[in-house]
């Protein structure tokens, strides 16, 4: 079995480099990963994308991952700011021209774009970026958004069946020189072809977040980077989940995959300052309406939860959409990242309230500590 560390795409794409813990940005094209109404929160500003992407690129970040969003979470108010997000494909193409080192992703919800269109757009961005592109594939979960496209949301397993077919078509379009027919349950292709081909061979890497058993099976077969939500601070517990993905990929498909997660960051000179700011944006100015709308979309019934469990969950999602907590001083954040690495995590996507201020603090104080801790090569 060939390791991803020997992947030929490493010649152009830093996602396959030797850094023990890879780093990325998440949600820079929209409002970030926190549900808050503070004025300094991200607001789908291109100027912010430009500034932050350049800083991350110069610092050696491996990934810059946008999210796809078409409307707000509040059903009766679809124009709510929770729907703010620049289009992922055009954003990725533009961002690739701002940068020269880091990997640039698009995120694509399968039912919202035909695989022929997606294949050509991905190949184009891969060529523009010089072979640094990656695709984050989402099977589709937001029913009101899919309704906008006239694509009613399918049952859970059917969504992954469609996503598998979608990827099979795209990979053929990326690799086959001759036109081909494809007749599946979800797509019918007559003499399909896509030119030009991507720079990366055999094709650009794919990221996927699948938390269910079916989602894990999908990621193990198709993804180069499986994206998991860390639910524990115990490295042994984290490793159990990471190893389950790796074992599934190796034993069932003879593949070696990376395991990534995401985290929200609040870095200050003291832990108390960091906690105070976290409370300011997540509690005093947390966007409870957006969270309520998101929870309804997820089918979460809070009345069935104990009150303390419900409140802890609500806080975590307003703080950073349920991500791993990186709150405190640079030393404390480094120690938390060591926990992730001990748990078998290969990469972390990061989000801040106030991206530019946050990444400047990170580059100045956290990056050197990561090198000292052996998490980065420097």
CATH topology for 4-372? Answer: TIM Barrel (3.20.20)
The pLDDT value recorded for residue 304 is 56
pLDDT at 72 over 90: no
Could you write out the three-class secondary structure of 51-89? Answer: HHHHHHHHHCCCEEECCCCCCCCCCCCCCCHHHCECCHH
Residue pLDDT, tens place only, 166-181: 999 999 999 999 999 9
The pLDDT value recorded for residue 173 is 98
How distant is the alpha carbon of residue 68 from its chain centre? 10
For residues 324-354, one letter each, b for 16 or more C-beta atoms within 10 angstroms of the residue's C-beta and e for the rest, the string is: bbbbbbbebbbebbbbbbebbbbbbbbbbbb
Note if the pTM is more than 0.75. yes
Q: Could you give phi then psi for residue 185, rounded to 5 degrees?
A: -75, -30
pLDDT at 151 over 80: no
The pLDDT value recorded for residue 109 is 93
Residue pLDDT, tens place only, 5-43: 689 999 999 999 999 999 999 999 999 999 999 999 999
Residue pLDDT, tens place only, 318-349: 999 999 999 999 999 999 999 999 999 999 99
pLDDT at 310 over 80: no
User: With pLDDT > 70 as the criterion, what percentage of the chain qualifies?
Assistant: 97
Q: What is the mean pLDDT of the chain?
A: 93
Question: Residue ranges per domain, the chain?
Answer: 4-372
pLDDT at 236 over 80: yes
**Average pLDDT of 221-233?**
94
Could you tell me which of 312, 339, 345, 330 has the C-alpha nearest to residue 229?
A: 345
């Amino acid at each position: 079995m060939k390791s991803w560390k020997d992947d030929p795409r490493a010649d152009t794409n830093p996602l396959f480099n030797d850094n023990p813990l890879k780093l990325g940005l998440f949600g820079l094209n929209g409002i970030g990963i926190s549900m808050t109404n503070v004025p300094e929160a991200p607001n789908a500003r291109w100027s912010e994308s430009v500034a932050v992407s350049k800083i991350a690129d110069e610092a050696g970040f491996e990934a810059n991952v946008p999210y796809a969003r078409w409307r707000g979470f509040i059903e009766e108010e679809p124009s709510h700011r929770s729907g703010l997000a620049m289009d992922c494909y055009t954003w990725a193409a533009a961002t690739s021209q701002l940068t020269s080192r880091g990997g640039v992703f698009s995120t694509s919800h399968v039912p919202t774009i035909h695989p022929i269109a997606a294949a050509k757009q991905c190949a184009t961005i891969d060529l523009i970026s010089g072979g640094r592109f990656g695709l984050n594939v989402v099977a589709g979960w937001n029913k009101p958004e899919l309704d906008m496209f006239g694509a009613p949301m399918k049952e859970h397993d059917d969504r992954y069946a469609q996503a598998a077919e979608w990827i099979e078509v795209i990979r053929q379009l990326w690799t086959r020189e001759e036109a081909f027919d494809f007749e599946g349950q979800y797509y019918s292709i007559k003499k399909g072809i896509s030119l030009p081909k991507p720079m990366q061979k055999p094709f650009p890497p794919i990221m996927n977040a699948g938390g269910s058993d079916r989602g894990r099976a999908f990621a193990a077969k198709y993804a180069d980077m499986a994206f998991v939500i860390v639910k524990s601070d115990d490295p042994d517990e984290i490793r159990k989940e990471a190893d389950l993905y790796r074992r599934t990929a190796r034993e069932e498909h003879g593949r070696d995959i990376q395991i990534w997660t995401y985290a929200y960051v609040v870095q200050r000179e003291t832990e108390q300052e960091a906690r105070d700011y976290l409370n300011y944006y997540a509690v005093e100015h947390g966007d409870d309406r957006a969270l309520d709308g998101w929870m309804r979309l997820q089918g979460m019934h809070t009345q069935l939860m104990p009150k303390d469990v419900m409140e802890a969950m609500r806080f975590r999602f307003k703080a950073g959409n349920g991500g791993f907590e990186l709150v405190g001083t640079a030393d404390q954040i480094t120690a938390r990242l060591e926990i992730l690495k001990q748990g078998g995590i290969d990469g972390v996507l990061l989000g801040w309230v106030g991206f530019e201020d946050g990444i400047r603090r990170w580059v100045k104080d956290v990056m050197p500590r990561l090198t000292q801790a052996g998490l980065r090569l420097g």
